[in-house]
Amino acid sequence: MAIQWKGVMPAVTTKFTEDDKLDLKNFEVNINAQLEAGVSGIILGGTLGEASTLSDEEKGELIRTTVDIAKGRVPVIVNIAEQVTRKAIEVAHKAEKDGAEGLMVLPPMRYKATDRETVTYFSEIAKSTSLPIMIYNNPVDYKIEVTLDMFEELLKLDNIQAVKESTRDVTNVTRIINRFGDRLKVLSGVDPLALESLIAGADGWVAGLVDAFPRETVAIYKLAKAGKIEEAYRIYRWFTPLLELDLSPQLVQNIKLAEVATGIGTEKVRAPRLPLEGEEREHVLQVIEDSLKTRPVLPDYKNL
């Protein structure tokens, strides 16, 4: 399946049982909710997916399970976040073998690579696979920025096709479009800046709170792309306190609590993460409770 790199693509959470195994039953409940809402792809193994805690065998099982659930309706995209180029290439090969149809790739982890090293890292991965690739550009969290000049080099490779734009500078969307036109698709990677990015011309939204609120997220995207900006903002303004839960270091716990509240997930996280407690937990629960009290009625967004 050719990936269009547009629409809403949830970075889904991984569900665990009480004895710390994969909870594929509740995972399927959430994936089906995403598909029914109209998402354009499923992204596995990101920060929200607690990928750093998963074994290679578990990652493979999640890919195969998701491919089976999706049944070709949307592409399954796998995140790569590795320290060693060789290992990243191995992950790409295994993901392709397990049925993944695209990759989202972070810069080298733990080591603050130079621009040349970063470009070489991405290029070696891209050359090793036929899968299309979205580069994850998040200098705030990962301390490496993929600049426009670096993209100029990377786009010599046909399968590098998109960027998850998480610099938190919305004007960067315009710079990318001005420099590369349609050659580099732009997907917003920061939930509280997503509508602003879409209005600036971003093609899609790699979303987090979509894991708990898939219909609202897709509705905002569809309304924005249909030019119904005020209708999109009406939902987005309601959504903003929830979207800001994505900016916390405890975003996994926050979003999993929201999934519980909407009936499409569980709270269980894998150590070293722990469930929220005390004032922090009460704050997040209050944000969720207040939002659910005023949850908007959505338009028929699928037919826009």
Enumerate the active-site residues: 136, 164
| Rounded CA separation 280/222 (Å) | 33
By CB atoms closer than 10 A (0-12, 13-18, 19+), residue 222 is buried
Which structure tokens are listed for 232?
Answer: 């999109």
Cβ atoms of 62 and 87 closer than 8 Å: no
Instruction: Point out which residues pair with 102 in neighbouring strands.
Output: 77
Which structure tokens are listed for 67?
Answer: 């491919």
| Rounded CA separation 170/3 (Å) | 24
Q: Output the CA torsion sign for 28, 32, 35, 37.
A: negative
Which structure tokens are listed for 78?
Answer: 């796998």
Which structure tokens are listed for 72?
Answer: 């070709």
